[in-house]
Chains A and B, each alone.
Chain A
Amino acid sequence: MNDLRGAPTPLLTPGMTPLLTPALTLIARHRVVSVLLFLLVFPWLMPYEALAVNILIFGLYAVGFNLLFGYTGMLSFGHAAFLGVGSYLTGISIVHAHLHWLLAIAVGVVAAGLVGVIMGHLAIRTRGIYFSMVTLALGQVVYYGFYKAERWTGGENGLRGVTVPAFKFAGWTIDFTNPVTKYYVILGFVAIALGLVSRILASPFGAVIEAIRENEKRAAACGYDVARSKLLVFVLSAAICGLAGSLRALHLSVVPIDSLHYLQSGQAVMMCLLGGMGTFFGPFVGAAVFLYLEDVVTTLTRHWMAVVGTIFMVFILFFPRGIWGSLIARWERATTPSVPT
């Protein structure tokens, strides 16, 4: 991914930076905590709580996807498979196996990871555009598979009845039918997942995947087993998207078959790009903007698909860094003292 070196038009004027820089630097250094603090108050900023929950879930989905796309440089078009497998396996655990909801979430995540191992093993044998094509095709396999397994998945009608009875926890009664409660429970899981992603990115392995994105051959020459590293990040990405799926099943109480559809994979790509690939918070911003926009636009017109397609193309042509990515780039340009070349 190349950068766009345009003429710097700072969002922040030089006069502002002395005030904002220390604050923003602090936020950047403790990114997970900052994000979570923001998310704690988030529901009150949204018109209704279900939208806030959706943003949490798809924000996580996009962050998981971004681990593979923005940070490792692998463009998968089959990630709906992990979202869907997470949803379905959690749903099936609750509906057919009557497991406890926490266990059901674990099953969803592990299942998504396993599917990631299989898909990854096949897809990583290819590179570049082949990888995108193969992941799309493999995503379709999962779609067809679940579509046909009607007895377990409900086929075209989806899986229904994924409900969690109210329970007591530390003196509180947790009732999922209360949207605010549901938000904070889901936030708990998203917080853990975001913490994990942050750790991954800050770990030695995080440096390896970025090196692979920059120059695979070089990374191999340094001694890194590129194929195995790619598989590891693929599986981690799958597990995180699987968690998003598990949470979605609990949120909706149903699992629609469209969770596995190619367009759902495409949605991850769009959210990531809208927000900013290769940034920690970007995908979340992208998810929020995407879902908010969808909410607004679908009340005005039926042709949401044309609107989002056009916006997406505009971003690719003119704002490839995405909303958050562009903001960060501007801030960096404003705060870095210019060096005469």
Chain B
Amino acid sequence: MGELTPQLLGLQLVTGIALGAVYALLAVGLSLIFGMLTVVNFAHGAFFMVGAFLGIYFQTLTGSFALSLVITPLVVGSIGMLSERFLVRPLYGRGIDYPLLLTFGLSYVLIESMRVLFGIEGLPSSTPAALRGSVDLGIGRFPLYRLVLIGATATVVMGLWLVIEKTRFGLIIRAGSRDPEIVRVLGVDVAKVWLLVFGLGTAIAGLSGVLAAPTRAVNPEMGITVLAESFVVTVVGGMGSLMGAVVAGLLVGVVFSMTSLLAPEFAELSIFVLMALVLLVRPQGLFGKAGLMG
């Protein structure tokens, strides 16, 4: 292990926050879908993976990372909406495990589809040319892409918060999370809301895939590890809480990153240790409501 300079720590911290930003986005998407539809999307990691693949594909096709950032979530969200409409919706009312199981099966199909389209090895991923290199922020040099990732995530989360708090659609989401029956009674077309929320949640997962692609290997199996990790974030933060998803996501990212630096052997295990601690001390998660799920 080399010297632990403040620069090194700072760098690792930023990497951790960038990783955490991806986790936060994933957890937000999961939480949205669960809050509104009471469905745990076991295909969430797969949608992330699809986003990563399509992100690279569209970037190669159009030559623009920015364009791919817009197109990919729309495509992934559409796949999500089709899935909700034809696969998940028939299962409402059958018990909480059925939609979960269905999305699990869906993940298999999504993984294999990417293998068919792009090969079993995956795709090479690299940072877009315009975003390479590092930036001097006065306190040190940091990789530009990581900063962009953090910035993009913050923007999306902020935008999402605005939609949820300030718009009518957001009001429906908040009401529906608390009491789906009331929303129906009030004459809202719940089916349409579910469709859009599922689309939104999966689109966010796809977006996080596009953003994450330059920072890791892109292969059909990447969604599986990320699924476990997003579940850790959800348990730590508490399901159904936007704040919880963001805080827990960042926390988990930083824990992983710092452990990679200080005790690399235990890096993967560290986040699960964190989860175990939360389970022992506060089973409902840091921001979760007691009795809801724990």
Contact = CB atoms under 8 A, between A and B. Distances in A.
A and B touching (Cβ–Cβ under 8 A): yes
A212 B224 CA distance: 31
Contacts of B105: 270, 309-310, 312-313, 316
Given A125-B283, A309-B109, A317-B102, A130 B239 contact: yes
A129 interface: yes
A129 B34 contact: yes
Contact of B269 (A134, A141, A312, A320): A141
A189 to B, nearest CB: 30
A140 to B, nearest CB: 4
B91 A306 contact: no
Interface in A96-113: none
A230 B106 CA distance: 29
Nearest to B98: A316
B109 A138 contact: no
B102 A137 contact: no
B97 A75 contact: yes
Interface string B258-291: 0000000100110010011001100100000000
Contacts of A313: 87, 102, 105-106, 109
Contacts of B95: 1-2
Contacts of B100: 75, 129, 132
A126 to B, nearest CB: 5
B58 interface: no
A123 B5 CA distance: 39
Output the residue of B105, B272, B276 with the most chain A CB within 10 A: B105
B240 to A, nearest CB: 11
B101 interface: yes
Nearest to A126: B294
Looking at B98, B109, B224, B239, the one whose CB has the most chain A CB atoms below 10 A away is B109
A137 B87 contact: no
Interface stretch (B59-67, B112-120, B134-142): B112-120
B82 interface: no
Contacts of B97: 1, 75, 132
A148 B227 CA distance: 20
Given A129-B96, A303-B116, A305-B108, A137 B272 contact: yes
B275 A309 contact: no
Contact of A310 (B109, B265, B283): B109
A147 B272 CA distance: 15
B245 to A, nearest CB: 14
Interface residues of A, number: 38
Given A129-B100, A141-B269, A262 B224 contact: yes
A127 B235 contact: no
Nearest to A78: B228
B192 interface: no
Contacts of B106: 309, 313
B104 interface: yes
Given A1-B97, A141-B269, A312 B235 contact: no
Contacts of B107: 309
Contact of A132 (B40, B224, B276, B294): B40
A263 interface: yes
Given A75-B97, A130-B294, A309 B108 contact: yes
Contacts of A308: 108
Contacts of B49: none
Given A122-B276, A136-B231, A129 B109 contact: no
A3 to B, nearest CB: 10
A128 B96 contact: yes
A24 to B, nearest CB: 29
Contacts of B166: none
A129 B104 contact: no
A311 to B, nearest CB: 8
A133 interface: yes
B111 interface: yes
12 contacts: A1-B97, A2-B93, A75-B101, A122-B280, A129-B96, A144-B269, A309-B105, A309-B109, A310-B109, A312-B101, A316-B101, A320-B98
> Nearest 5 A-B pairs (CB), nearest first?
A309-B108, A306-B112, A312-B105, A133-B231, A313-B105
Interface of B: 34, 40, 87, 90-91, 93-98, 100-102, 104-109, 111-113, 115-116, 224-225, 227-228, 231-232, 234-235, 239, 265, 268-269, 272, 275-276, 279-280, 283, 293-294
Interface of A: 1-2, 75, 122, 125-130, 132-134, 136-138, 140-141, 144-145, 148, 262-263, 266, 269-270, 273, 303, 305-306, 308-310, 312-313, 316-317, 320
Given A126-B294, A129-B40, A320-B94, 8 more contacts: A2-B94, A122-B276, A130-B235, A133-B40, A133-B234, A137-B231, A137-B272, A273-B101
